[in-house]
Structures are given as structure tokens and as C-alpha cells.
Chain A
Amino acid sequence: MNEHLTESDISAWVMGDRSNTHVTECAECRIEVAAMEAALLEFRASAHELAAGQTPVVRVAEPRPWWPQLALAAAAVALLLAIPAWQRAERERVAKQEAADTALLRQVDAEVSRAVPGPMEPLVSLVSWDGSNTQ
């Protein structure tokens, strides 16, 4: 009888190398090999049991319609173009308002700087404040 199988011989046998005939002659080595093969089969069964019942959670997405994205892009472009126009109109509105305010202030200044009320202005030219009649 040959020598008993080494660890390497057992691994080779489990991998499918059946060239070593000692296994057929030696009950002890046969038990050793069978135990290793059984452990690997049980490991396989254990792994299958662990992963069993898992159902796919991936759904293949339907292709999305293209038009909402196009509409969104068009809206963004329109917004970008509208901003400078709005800024220009706003500047013009502010300039007009400032001109109107300036005109009003001038008018108020003119009113305030009068010595007598408007209806009495013709009399002012008739009266000399130092007592002499100008006419």
C-alpha cells in the first residue's frame, strides 16, 4: 500500500485530479477525502440557502419623453434673454422718475423763493419799500 495522502494530495483530489489511486485502496484516506467533499457540499448548500428567496429589485426604466426637458431648456433660455431687457427697462423707468422728481423740486423751489404770493406780484412793482413812489 502507498503512503497516506498528504494535504496537497487531498486538495488535488477534491479539485478533480484522480491520478492518485491510493484513495481506492485506503479506507482512512477515503474517509478523509469524503469528509472534505461533504464539507464543501454543505458549504454550497448553506450559501444557496442564505441567498434563496431573493427576488430582483431592478426595474428597467421606460425611456423618458424628451419634450419636458426641451421645454425646461427653452424656459431657461427665455429667462436668460429676458433679464437684460428687464434691467434696461428698469433703468429707463428710474431715469424718468428722477427727471420728474427734479422738475418738481425746481417748481417747488421757485414757489418757495417768491417774496409775495403770485396774485400780488403786480403790486410789488408799484410799491417802493423805501417810501418813494416808483411811478
Chain B
Amino acid sequence: MEMTLEAEQARTATDFESVVREHWPRVFRFILVSLRDRNDAESLTQDCFLKAYQAWGRFRGEASVSTWLMRIAVNQLRDHARNRRLQFWKRTRTNSDQFNDFHDIPAGVSPEASPEKRAAAKQQVRAVWKAAASLPEQQRTVFLLRFVEDLDLLEIAAVTGLKEGTVKAHLFRALQAVRARMSEAYE
């Protein structure tokens, strides 16, 4: 039986809603950690899913949905960074949602840990956040995909469109920068 256009559209919308429900948290988290600005992250995540919805009919499944969505997110972040470089005045705005001072960053340690251990862990985590924020764009993307989203090198290569060797080189340099920042934090 042939499906009417309306029925096909409704089916597509239903399928896509389940994609949104499943993948939204990861895409939002990756964008939030990359931008460190909740408003911008929400807005960019919406744009990302809007783009995905517009292209949903053409998605043939060559990559997994997750890889495809993360690739869109990486491209959105790249465009966003380019726009911000052009609109340099935007950098001077006051934005209470941006957490560049890293004081409100969760420590990422168990609440049962001793106060000393929690303080030390918070200092370490803050150093990693600061280091990640100061990395060049591609290094940061690779670093976050590896250590926040837990992707392996091949998956990162598929998401970023870089060669595996290039991904490895970016990750190595990013780790060196993070280690240097952590050493500074202890001096």
C-alpha cells in the first residue's frame, strides 16, 4: 500500500522525535563544554537538530546517527566560531551564563570524598577546564570528543573529517597542554 505524503511526513516527524530524545543530551553536552555558554549552547543545539531534521530524508545511514549528528554539531561550532571572530564586538558583552571563571564547575568527585580530596579534585578539574578552554579549536574538539564523549580515534576521525593520524597528533598536543596547565596549578 502506498503511503500518502502527509502520512510519510508524520512518520518522518515521529522517527525524528525519537532521534531528538535519544541524542539531544550528548549533542548539547558536547556543544556546552565547547562553548561554556548555556544560552549559546541551547541555541546551537536547536540549530543542529533543525539542520538534521531538514536533511533527515536524505540520511542514508552510511554513518551511525550519533556520528552524523556529532558531525553536524562540529560544523555548527566551526561556523559559530567564525561568526564570533567576525562579530568581534560580541566578545565584549557581559554574559552571566558563560562560566569562564570556572568557579561553578562541578567537581566531578563523589560527595562522600573527604573535604581535602574534594578540594584537590576541584583544583585539578578546574585546571583541565581552563586548559581545554585555551586550546586551539581543532585540538579542543578532538580532546572533548575523546575525554568527554569517550569516542575512539576512528570515531573522532569520522566526526571531524580529519585523518586518524591528524586526530592522534591533535590529541597528543592537547594532552601536553592539559598536563602543563595541571602542573602550573600545583606550583
Assuming the A-B contacts A11-B176, A50-B33, A63-B6, are A42 and B24 also in contact, with contact meaning beta carbons closer than 8 angstroms in the complex?
A: no
Give the docked Cα–Cα distance between A69 and B21 (Å).
32
Identity of the chain B residue whose Cβ is nearest the Cβ of A45 in the assembled complex: B108
Q: How many residues belonging to B are interface residues under a CB distance threshold of 8 Å?
A: 44
Give the docked Cα–Cα distance between A48 and B32 (Å).
10
Give the docked Cα–Cα distance between A40 and B24 (Å).
23
Report chain A residues within 8 Å CB of B171.
15
Report chain A residues within 8 Å CB of B46.
57-58
Minimum C-beta distance from B85 to chain A (A): 25
A119 on interface, CB distance cutoff 8 Å: no
Identity of the chain A residue whose Cβ is nearest the Cβ of B150 in the assembled complex: A44
Give the docked Cα–Cα distance between A54 and B21 (Å).
11
A7 on interface, CB distance cutoff 8 Å: yes
Q: Say whether A60 contacts B20, CB under 8 Å.
A: yes
A56 on interface, CB distance cutoff 8 Å: yes
Which chain B residues numbered 142 to 187 have a C-beta less than 8 Å away from chain A? 144, 147-148, 150, 168, 171-172, 175-176, 178-180, 182
Q: Say whether A42 contacts B107, CB under 8 Å.
A: yes
- Of B63-71, B72-80, B86-94, B122-130, the stretch lying at the interface with chain A is B122-130
B42 on interface, CB distance cutoff 8 Å: yes
Query: Within the complex, which residue of B17, B32, B49, B178 is in contact with A51, where a contact is CB–CB below 8 Å?
Result: B32
Minimum C-beta distance from B62 to chain A (A): 23
Give the docked Cα–Cα distance between A8 and B102 (Å).
27
Identity of the chain B residue whose Cβ is nearest the Cβ of A10 in the assembled complex: B179
Q: Show 8 residue pairs from A and B whose CB-CB distance is below 8 angstroms, ordered by the A residue.
A: A7-B180, A15-B168, A42-B125, A47-B29, A47-B33, A54-B32, A55-B24, A60-B13
